[in-house]
Amino acid sequence: MKKTVLILGAGRMVKAMAYDLHKDFSVTIADINQSALAYLASKFEVKTNILDVTNAVELTEFIKPFDLIIGAVPGHLGYNMLKTVLLAGKTIVDISFAPEDALELDALAKENKALALVDIGVAPGLSNLMLGHMSTQFSIKKFTCMVGGLPVHKQEPFQYKAPFSPIDVIEEYTRPARIKRNGKTETVEALSEPETIHFNKIGTLEGFITDGLRSLLHTMNIPNMVEKTLRYPGHRDLMEVFKTTGLFDPDKINVAGVHVAPVDVTAAMLLPKWKLEEDEPEFTAMTIDLEGIKDQSHVKKKFELLDYYDAESGLSSMARTTGFTCASAARLVLSGAVQKSGVIPPELLGLNQEYFTFITTHLANYNIGFKEITI
């Protein structure tokens, strides 16, 4: 009898999860969006169900029979959803990327003998996994991750399209970013400290600081850490103009007698302009730069990941790198290999050679993985 998997959410990343998991497991997808569910049911042999994850009572009852839960809901719903699942004593693999600190639920998970693998996407996710793994090879003193998903064809003035809601992208551009410098956590402005980086197959991209370190600030004893988001040159400057003009402000203002939040209007207007079409060519690019000490010698390592939209499967690179990573972690749990409770971020999975090999081997089946670059 096949093990049962419930995916909470029916967004674009879920398409890749369903593509991978429906072949070997009984998959149910639950969401409040009926049209999104109908689309996934037309593509894969999955069951679907209308479900409001904000209703804790309904959610608790619905998840009872499943062997594994996958969380793929919008970030603002993620923390309470995760808490409800853990209170029910269930195992979950989550990519909801809630702004709250999931590690705060570790004691609750252990108390209920529940397991949560959180932030199991591409970045956070694969980047953390690689960092955890490499920290077993040498003492890392500096970690820099640069990552972004972009359309292949640039269109002025934005030179950007999003595989998810613009409001989530704007939040990335406005939330103060935490980094590590000389052993101390600092908070800096998002969009700050821009720098360019060259990819052989893509050209020049521009990176700027965003708040992407998340659990790494608490789990990894590395004195210097930063994550930067990658975009085509020029996009950051335009977003800085939007930001300083107030177009990203969340506080409501009075416009002709109507109280509206500028960010809501901006997001609504950007939605059709930033919409990434289902079959539009795009790519995901990521670099990881590491510096440290091994046997009293200075070590520098650089890794690169580059993935493209796959026309054969119809999966975007962001869905592939995020959804397949999550599915790989789900398979790891369903194999029975992770006999633990608590909240575990991907860097701690990377410390375990068995877990690291399992996930990266499965991803290699889809030609997803890091290549070490000679410095």
CATH fold group of domain 4-122+318-369: Rossmann fold (3.40.50)
CATH for 126-308 is 3.30.360.10
pLDDT in tens, 107-146: 999 999 999 999 999 999 999 999 999 999 999 999 999 9
Q: How confident is the model at residue 253 (pLDDT cuts 50, 70, 90)?
A: very high
Cβ proximity of 32 and 58 under 8 Å: no
Residue 363 has pLDDT above 90, yes or no: yes
Structure-block tokens of residue 161: 């399209």
> Could you give the CA distance from residue 82 to residue 84 in angstroms, rounded to a whole number?
5
% of the chain beyond a pLDDT of 70 = 100
> 284-340, pLDDT tens digit by residue?
999 999 999 999 999 999 999 999 999 999 999 999 999 999 999 999 999 999 999
Spell out the domain ranges in the chain. Answer: 4-122+318-369, 126-308
The pLDDT of residue 162 is 87
CB 307 within 8 A of CB 320: yes
Question: What does the pLDDT read at residue 165?
Answer: 78
Backbone angles phi, psi at 48, to 5 degrees: -130, 155
On whether the CB atoms of residues 152 and 348 are closer than 8 A, the answer is no
Cβ burial 332-351 (10 Å sphere, 16+ → b, else e): bbbeeebeebbbbbbbbbbb
* Predicted TM-score (pTM) of this structure: 0.94
- Rg of the chain in Å (alpha carbons): 20
Residue 65 has pLDDT above 90, yes or no: yes
Mean pLDDT, to the nearest integer, of 352-375?
95
pLDDT band at 278 (very low <50, low <70, confident <90, very high): confident
How high is the pLDDT of residue 279?
86
Q: Which residue has the tokens 């999966």?
A: 315
